[in-house]
Amino acid sequence: MEWKKSNNGKNIFEIKTYLIAQVAEGNSLKEFESDKKIILTQNGKVPDSSKPRTDYKYGEPYNLGIFAEEKDYVAFGAITNATLPNQPENKIYMASANIYIRMKNTRVMSLYIFNRVKKDDATFIKSFTKNWLDCLKKNK
């Protein structure tokens, strides 16, 4: 629906949410654990990322930290000010989340969620991530 509204991607301001899934075949448990450790180190935990700061500039991401983690997955995200410098009246903030998850045997997936948000609200992206994780856990 949003894709049609956007004139097949020509008007990005109409696209509010999109999802991307990538599969990496052949990742060993050791590689998965190593990658997950790097993700945890780089993103850490942010005490209250539901209300991020409001002073970040164009293109600057605000780290939402790790907001879900278990043995087989880690989910983290950011909000980026995507307002074009020459169009300050068209405020655009994109929240993104990445779920790095180990599925059956050696299948590893990265699931990305992107959503336009109000700059001070990370609630939707976290809720969507939780719902997607719940679906994945049921189908593991």
Average pLDDT over residues 96-111: 84
In a domain, 15, yes or no: no
% of the chain residues with pLDDT over 70: 75
Count of domains for the chain: 1
In a domain, 6, yes or no: no
pLDDT for 6 beyond 90: no
In a domain, 86, yes or no: yes
Average pLDDT over residues 80-99: 82
Average pLDDT over residues 76-98: 83
Confidence of residue 65 (pLDDT cuts 50, 70, 90): confident
In a domain, 40, yes or no: yes
Tokens found for residue 83: 């307002």
CB atoms within 10 A of CB 91: 13
What's the pLDDT at 64? 85
Asked whether 121 and 128 are in contact (CB, 8 A), the reply is no
Confidence of residue 109 (pLDDT cuts 50, 70, 90): confident
pLDDT for 98 beyond 90: yes
In a domain, 4, yes or no: no
**CA distances, 38 to each of 34, 35, 140 (Å):** 6, 5, 24
In a domain, 83, yes or no: yes
In a domain, 70, yes or no: yes
Output Rg (C-alpha) for the chain, integer angstroms.
16
In a domain, 12, yes or no: no
Q: Write out the residue range of the structural domain in which residue 27 sits.
A: 23-138
